[in-house]
Amino acid sequence: MTASTAATSVSVAPDGIEYAIPSAAKARADLERIVAAAEAFGGSVVVVQGLGFVGAAVCGALAASGRHLVVGVDLPRPESYWKVAKLGSGSVFGSPDPELAAAIAEGVAAGRLFTTTLDEAYALADVIVVDVDLGLDGRAEVALEPFERAIRAAGAHMRDDALLIVETTVPPGTCRTIVLPALEEERRRRGIESAPLLANAYERVMPGAHYLASVRAYPRSYAGLDPVSARGARQFLESFVDAPLRELPDLESAELGKLLENSYRAANIAFIHEWTRLAESIGVDLWSVVDSIRARVGTHDNIRNPGVGVGGYCLTKDSFLAQWGAERLLGSDVRLETTLAALEINALMPLHTFEHARVLAGGELRGRRIALCGVAYLPDVADTRNSPTELLWRELRAAGAEVRVHDPQVVRWAEQPEAIVEQDLARALAGVDGVVLAVRHSGYREVDAERLAELVGAPGWVVDAQNMLGDEDAQRLHAAGWRVSGVGKGHWRAAGYGASA
Ligand SMILES: NC(=O)c1ccc[n+]([C@@H]2O[C@H](COP(=O)([O-])OP(=O)(O)OC[C@H]3O[C@@H](n4cnc5c(N)ncnc54)[C@H](O)[C@@H]3O)[C@@H](O)[C@H]2O)c1
């Protein structure tokens, strides 16, 4: 997109490309093109609200099904317009999955995938899929207002017989007590008295190498406000999901399902953390223990690995959404003690890796040059939201260290814009005192003892928080004058690798 469209401002994508936000006249002209395409298509039109990590992948999966004309809507703000521009021109940011890139490129080229910033697009929809964010406002509140505004925008334009499906993860009670009245009110303003068709079908998409497949191949649960809504949701899901579908009895069950499954994952990670500390204190290699337990497939293979901590948008907030909705929207007095304690443990977990670094640095980090490898919250993705590396970075700097950050996926660290994220590993590691391997990116696979020693130049120290170095690497580094430790690597500690040889 060029700036020739009387732009009011610019939206910069995480890859540094700038997109001019189009004028209202240009946006309207584009929408007319979409309306004409929808009329010519003649089949089902799906409008996806929110083109973030979930919405972009859902657009790709819907377009690839060949059964729908898909229109993605996001806001004309500097922080979000680039998503409209990228997807609308057939590309996607931050996906290592070639299948998703191909689905989006082909969808746009075939005239089956469009994007816009205009809410009038909702009037085209047979199905509106809500994929907007709904997060916390500080640490104690849920930011419902922007979510409700998004629902109202759809309600203000949707056809009377359109089905609105909430995929956004919401506090229990949200669909019935927030979404339904908002839709009813907006529709009534336009003289529509009939109850809206409304369903919840939470997404399970997993960004990464199998991003597109995760939309199509994971089983899905859903529930409708009424039998007609539930049937509509099932038909819609069947049109692009190639996995078992399960209807739950009511909207609250579907809302709770998503929150419970994410809380289960978060609690499992918190649980393994105290065993990590125990294993380190008694000289046990927890990685190999966990691996041996996983052999018991069916009941034990979901046990988590040790690590730096938990990041991302979902596992860091969803347990809180559950508690908040239960109390505030549904009047429950049940306190999710274990679940919320796990959230707290996970939030502080990066301090354990920090402690490894502090010990290896001889108790003093002031003035030390440290390479922090990995900012994304997951291997091989560019998503840095709530990355555990952030707390580690802040603590290292607060202790006076000079921290270089490296990530092969991340060009700009949106949450810490003052941090310069180095792309070149050799430049990041040259001459540092210490290295922290924080994320298991495939780009770090080349880092063995020999490569590390070569890139750093002189013996220093390394904390391996992700089981990236083998026992032989640790032993060789230590013999060469390095101090080495690893999260969950009690046997390295017992072997004295944390001290100078
Ligand atoms: N990221 C994941 O892996 C994942 C997986 C499953 C479910 N979820 C859930 O899906 C939801 C979306 O997550 P995400 O990671 O895609 O969030 P995101 O922040 O990446 O994207 C949300 C998008 O919605 C847009 N938006 C907000 N208000 C809007 C409005 N009124 N109209 C149009 N667009 C609007 C935002 O600008 C943003 O681009 C969340 O509830 C999340 O918990 C996320």
Residue 390 pLDDT more than 90? yes
Alpha helices, DSSP H, located in 209-349:
211-217, 227-238, 251-282, 286-294, 318-328, 337-348
> Which amino acid is located at 92 in the chain?
V
Residue nearest to atom 35 of ligand 1 (CA): 50
What distances in angstroms separate CA 448 from CA 84, 113, 453, one per listed residue?
A: 41, 44, 9
Beta-carbon-side half-sphere exposure of residue 174 (alpha carbons within 13 Å):
28
Q: To which H or E segment does residue 477 belong?
A: helix 471-479
pLDDT at residue 4 greater than cutoff 80: no
Measure 312 CA to ligand 1 centroid, in angstroms: 12
- Edge-first strand order for the sheet with 163-166 is 113-116, 68-73, 44-49, 127-130, 163-166, 197-200, 220-224, 245-247
DSSP state of 442: G
Q: Which helix (H) or strand (E) holds 427?
A: helix 425-429
Neighbours of 146 (CB within 10 A): 14
**Is any ligand 1 atom within 6 A of the Cβ of residue 255?**
no
Angle, helices 251-282 vs 318-328, to 10°: value is: 140
Give the nearest ligand 1 atom to 207 CA.
3
Counting ligand 1 atoms within 8 A of each CB, the residue from 19, 49, 53 with the most, and so the one to mutate, is 53
Q: Measured in angstroms, how far is the CA atom of residue 130 from the centroid of ligand 1? A: 8
* Three-state DSSP state, 339: helix
Ligand 1 pocket check for 205: Cβ under 6 Å: yes
> DSSP assignment, residue 83?
H
Predicted local confidence at residue 8, as pLDDT: 59
pLDDT tier at 140 (50, 70, 90 boundaries)? Answer: confident
CA 61 to centroid of ligand 1, rounded, Å: 16
- The model's confidence at residue 501, banded by pLDDT at 50, 70 and 90, is confident
Is the CB of residue 218 below 6 angstroms from any atom belonging to ligand 1? no
Nearest to 49 by CA among 138, 166, 175, 137: 166
CB 87 within 8 A of CB 9: no
Ligand 1 proximity of 53 Cβ (cutoff 6 Å): yes
**Which atom of ligand 1 lies at the shortest distance from residue 73's CA?**
33
Does the Cβ of 261 fall within 6 Å of ligand 1?
no
Dump pLDDT digits (tens) for 199-228.
Answer: 999 999 998 889 999 999 999 999 999 999
Q: How far is the CA of 458 from the centre of ligand 1 (A)?
A: 45
DSSP sequence for 139-196: TTEE-HHHHHHHHHHHHTT--TT-EEEE-S---TTHIIIIIHHHHHHHHHHTT--SPP
95 lines ligand 1 (CB under 6 A): no
Q: How far is the CA of 253 from the centre of ligand 1 (A)?
A: 21
The answer, yes or no, to whether any atom of ligand 1 lies below 6 A from the CB of 73, is yes
R_g of the chain, CA atoms, integer Å? 25
232 lines ligand 1 (CB under 6 A): no
Of ligand 1's listed atoms, the one at least distance from the Cα of 383 is: 1
User: Is residue 52 lining ligand 1, measured as CB closer than 6 Å?
Assistant: yes
Q: What is the dihedral of CA 251, 256, 257, 258, to 10 degrees?
A: 100
Q: What tens digit of pLDDT does each residue of 278-310 get?
A: 999 999 999 999 999 999 999 999 999 999 999
- Residues near 135 by Cβ (< 8 Å), separated by ≥ 6? 142, 143, 313, 317
Q: What is the pLDDT of residues 36-62, one digit of tens each?
A: 999 999 899 999 999 999 999 999 999
Any residues with CB less than 8 A from the CB of 312 and at least 6 apart, and which?
Answer: 377, 378, 383, 385, 386, 387
Mean of the per-residue pLDDT values for the chain? Answer: 95
For a mutational test of ligand 1's pocket, the pick from 130, 313, 384, i.e. the residue with the most ligand atoms closer than 8 A to its C-beta, is: 313
Are 206 and 57 in contact, with CB atoms under 8 Å apart?
Answer: no
User: How far apart are alpha carbons 256 and 214 in whole angstroms?
Assistant: 21
Q: Is 414 in the pocket of ligand 1 (CB under 6 A)?
A: no
Phi and psi (nearest 5°) for 135? -125, -160
Ligand 1, atom 20: nearest CA belongs to which residue? 52
pLDDT tens digits, 61-96: 999 999 999 999 999 999 999 999 999 999 988 788
**DSSP calls for 105-120:** HHHHHTT-EEEES-GG
Closest CA to 73 of 49, 52, 91, 53: 49
5: confidence class by pLDDT, cuts 50, 70, 90: very low
HSE toward the beta carbon, residue 109, CA cutoff 13 A: 8
The residue contributing the CA closest to ligand 1 atom 18 is 52
Angle between helices 471-479 and 449-456 (to 10 degrees): 40
Mean pLDDT calculated for residue range 151-165: 98
Question: Who contacts 357 (Cβ-Cβ below 8 Å, separation ≥6)?
Answer: 365, 370, 396, 434, 436, 461, 463
Count how many residues are written for the chain. 501
Residue 7 scores a pLDDT above 90:
no
Q: Which ligand 1 atom is nearest residue 55's CA?
A: 16
Whether the full predicted model's pTM is greater than 0.85, yes or no, is yes
**pLDDT reported for residue 386:** 94
Q: What spacing in Å lies between the alpha carbon of 474 and ligand 1's midpoint?
A: 41
CA of 490 to the centre of ligand 1 (A): 40
Residue closest to 383 by CA, chosen among 20, 123, 72, 93? 93
93 CA distance to ligand 1 middle (Å): 14
